[in-house]
Structure formats: C-alpha cells, structure tokens
C-alpha cells in the first residue's frame, strides 16, 4: 500500500503466505493451552441489510498512511488499513447499506475484511466473542525433580528424585483414559522438571509409549521438552528430532544478564552453554522456542536476547516473574511497573527493527494473547493436569506440592475439575476490575496464582493490569507493521 494509492485496501493475517503456520501460541512453560480460535480470518461475504461500525475499536497509527485496527469485543486478529479504507470504515459510523459500494471493487473487498474482523457488523447485532471449547488435554509431566541450575525465581524445591519408567507409563495410561473419557481428541505432553533432560532415557521411553497408547486410543499426540538448555548433547538433540518432540529453551538474556538469574548449582555462568545448545538443536533440525522470564535483574536487558532470537528466526515469549514460596526470600526479583514498561519498550523496538514473519500477538503479552478470546487465562482446573515424579496429581505446576490424587487411582481431569482446594481459576467475568475492561477477554484477568500471591484473592484483577493495558495496543501496532511488510497485495 502506498500513499498515492486511492484504492481502499485492508490487509489481515490471511494475506500473509503460510498464515496458519505463522501463529505462535507461546505458553509452553505454563498452563495456557493453544487457542481454540485463530487470528487468521479470511474476508467474509457481506450480509444483507445495513452495517455499522463497531463501537470499541482500538486504532493504532502505524505511519502517516496506515492504521492497525482491533476490536476487543470481537474474535481476534488485527487488520491494517490505508487512509481510503479507514475513511470507508468511518462512513459506517451510522448504519448504511453496502449496496452503494458495489461498483467499487476495492471498497467492497475492504468492507469484507472489515466485516470478517468484527469491525463492521449488522445494525443492532454487535459481534459476540466465540469461546472455543478445548479439545486438547495438556499435561505437565515432572520427569525429574533434579536440576543443574539454581535459578532464584524457581518454584520447585529440588531433590535428586526422578520419575521411573513404571510411574511414567502409569501416568500416560491415566492421561489417555481420562482424555478419552472426557471427550478430548488430542493430548499434549510437556516434559518438565527440574531439568527434564537429566532423565532423558525415561523421557524418550515415555514418549514412545505415549505414542503407542495415543494411536490405539485415537488421540493426536504432541510434545515439548521444557529445558534450561545446559545438558542437551548432540545425541539427545538427534533423538528429539527423531521423535518429533519440540523444545523450549529458557534464555533470560545475553551473557551476564542471563547468568545473573540462571547460575549453575555451583554458582557458575550458564549462558554460553545455553547458546551452544541452541546451536546444536538448530544443527539437528530443531528450532527451539525461547522463553524469557523477566525479573528486576534483567528487565533492562531484554532487547539483546530478543535480537538474538530474531536473528536466528526463533520464536520467543515473555513471562513476567511470579512470586512463589521458593523465591520469597529473594528480594530483588520483583519488578517495578515503569521499569517493566521501559524494558518491554526496548524489546518492542527490536521487534520493529527486525520484524519476523510470524505474528507476535500470542507471545509478547505475558499470560495474555490477541489470537482468540478466552474467559480464563489458562487451562488450570479444566484441560490442564500436572503429574509429579511420584505420579501425584496437581492442578498447577506452580503449586506442584499441593497434590489432589494419584494417577494409579484417580481420573486426572476429574480431579482437577472437581477438587475445591487450592488455586481457583475463575472466569474473567467473576473478577473485580475485569468485568468492564476493554481487554478482559485477552488477558482474562491474568495468572490466578500470581494474583492470589499478591492480593490474597482469586476474584480480583491481576496486579499487572496496568502493564497489560499499556502494551496491548503496542502489540496491535507491531502486528500492523508485520502485515505491511509481509502481506501479499
């Protein structure tokens, strides 16, 4: 699109080649399930009758000619428009028929895009968010409690205890039975710890067993290894490729910024080992996802690690530090709001400088996303199960010691859905301060565990609310820039 172009032009994620493969659902290290919806929306046919402009559109100027648009009351996805298409949208500030535009092909095409993104809707019938029912059961398998790092923000009380093959297989059996019984069609396993790669033989055996059990039960299986990136050798990297297991690597900075909060158990630096592992994975054909945990120690050093990922075309996600019992004695991890915003601004500048082909709508907003509306920030208490190294069931990995049953005797899904104790993952409409918020269906009130830790309540908004409301429009703008760069026109 050019400023001299008088045609009305609107572009969305569906105009980027390979659109569906470019959506990143980032919460690998958390209970956030892949979204049931999609930010890739094709231009829809226009209905009969008058249309009107949606009331609560977020408008983010991208440059002098283009504006990125997002409807928080809609079903996700960003649309970028030129001046002519923006003027077209404003024509519908009062209801009007679309017929008068029939002679202008560009205006009609732009109107279809506006309608498909819920920016236009039939008069008297505003769009309703569609909350997709999850069809995937996600399970955190704590294959070892042992770790080779000593991260001050970790929530796990470490030991040398690991999951045995028998316990792992009992866990898979319970998950498959529960998935079928509760109507899921897919199972996703997150091999975690501790440092899961320290129990690699059991992990690989467990995955092979899970594949056979899922095939027999008619379930689709996917899996990811959550790793600190220190102990993955070439043999394991090749095995992960062979078994189709994805990898998430924690990298909190470059050099000292990472080492300040992810030292080895002996107090030595680990960043060079992580970078070496990322190289090994790339050589083996595995493109790891980079998880960046932000604390006060690295909040001013996020930009360089974002640049590192972008230069290697690696997806990444931001995770704000969450207070917990194990980290409570470490006073310098809690970030200040303005410092976080400044750090994120530097990271967003790196993204703008080196725009990826993939969308950032699902990965740079902590526990939130702009891909599809949700009523809960994560799957805790619904479609997410944690199983520790002993086969004990928990609702949330941040509360892994708060167990509610054993895989040998208990239906995992039924247990997390019905047990009244511990974490309560309420609907966003049940949280004070969220009910009338523009972004309520996108952050969904934030992490329940973090909110309770900060406030002693589950029924209030996240303590990070002001941060979320500031950065969401910035993510809309970044998506608009991506569309301008990569959409076919």
In degrees to the nearest 10, what's the CA dihedral of 217, 221, 226, 229? 120
Quick one: pLDDT at residue 1?
Answer: 45
Quick one: pLDDT at residue 118?
Answer: 96
Task: Report yes or no on whether pTM surpasses 0.85.
Answer: yes
Domains and CATH numbers, the chain: 10-130+471-486 (no CATH), 136-387 (3.20.20.70)
Quick one: pLDDT at residue 3?
Answer: 42
Quick one: pLDDT at residue 326?
Answer: 83
Quick one: pLDDT at residue 18?
Answer: 84
Quick one: pLDDT at residue 387?
Answer: 98
Which residues of the chain are under the pLDDT cut of 50? 1-4, 35-36
Quick one: pLDDT at residue 35?
Answer: 46
């Amino acid at each position: 699109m050019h400023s001299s172009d008088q045609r009305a032009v609107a572009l969305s994620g569906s105009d980027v080649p390979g659109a569906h493969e470019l959506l990143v659902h980032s919460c690998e290290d958390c209970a956030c399930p892949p979204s049931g919806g999609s930010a890739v929306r094709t231009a829809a046919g226009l209905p009969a009758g008058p249309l009107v402009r949606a009331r609560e559109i977020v408008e983010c100027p991208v440059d002098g000619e283009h504006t990125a648009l997002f409807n928080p009351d809609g079903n996700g996805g960003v649309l970028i428009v030129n001046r002519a298409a923006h003027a077209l949208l404003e024509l519908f500030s009062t209801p009007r028929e679309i017929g008068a535009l029939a002679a202008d092909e560009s205006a009609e095409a732009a109107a279809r895009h506006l309608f498909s993104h819920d920016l236009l809707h039939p008069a008297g019938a505003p769009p309703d968010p569609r909350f997709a029912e999850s069809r995937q059961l996600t399970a955190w398998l704590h294959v070892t409690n042992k770790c080779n790092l000593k991260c001050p923000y970790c929530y796990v009380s470490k030991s040398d205890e690991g999951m045995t093959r028998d316990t792992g297989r009992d866990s898979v059996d319970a998950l498959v039975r529960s998935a079928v019984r509760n109507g899921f069609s897919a199972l996703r396993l997150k091999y975690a710890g501790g440092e899961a790669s320290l129990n690699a033989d059991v992990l690989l055996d467990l995955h092979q067993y899970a594949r056979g059990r899922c095939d027999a039960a008619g379930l689709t299986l996917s899996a990811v290894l959550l790793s600190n990136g220190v102990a993955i050798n070439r043999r394991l990297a090749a095995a992960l490729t062979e078994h189709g297991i994805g990898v998430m690597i924690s990298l909190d900075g470059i050099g000292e910024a990472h080492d300040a909060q992810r030292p080895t158990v002996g107090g030595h630096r680990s960043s060079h080992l992580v970078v070496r592992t990322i190289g090994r994975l790339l050589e083996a054909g595995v493109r790891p996802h980079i998880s960046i945990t932000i604390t006060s120690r690295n909040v001013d050093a996020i930009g360089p690690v974002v640049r590192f990922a972008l230069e290697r075309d690696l997806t990444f996600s931001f995770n704000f530090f969450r207070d917990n019992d194990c980290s409570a004695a470490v006073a310098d991890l809690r970030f200040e709001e303005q410092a976080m915003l400044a750090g994120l601004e530097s990271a967003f500048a790196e993204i703008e400088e080196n725009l990826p082909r993939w969308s950032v709508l699902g990965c740079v907003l902590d526990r939130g996303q702009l891909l599809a509306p949700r009523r809960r920030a994560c799957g805790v208490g619904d479609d997410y199960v944690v199983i520790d190294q002993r086969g004990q069931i928990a609702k949330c990995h941040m509360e892994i010691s708060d167990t509610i049953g054993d895989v040998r005797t208990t239906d995992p899904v039924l247990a997390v859905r019905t047990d009244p104790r511990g974490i309560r993952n309420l609907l966003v409409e049940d949280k004070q301060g969220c009910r009338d918020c523009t972004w309520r269906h996108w952050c969904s009130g934030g992490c329940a565990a973090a909110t309770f830790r900060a406030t002693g309540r589950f029924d209030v908004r996240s303590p990070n609310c002001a941060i979320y409301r500031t950065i969401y429009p910035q993510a809309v703008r970044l998506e608009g820039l991506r569309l301008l760069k990569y959409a076919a026109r």
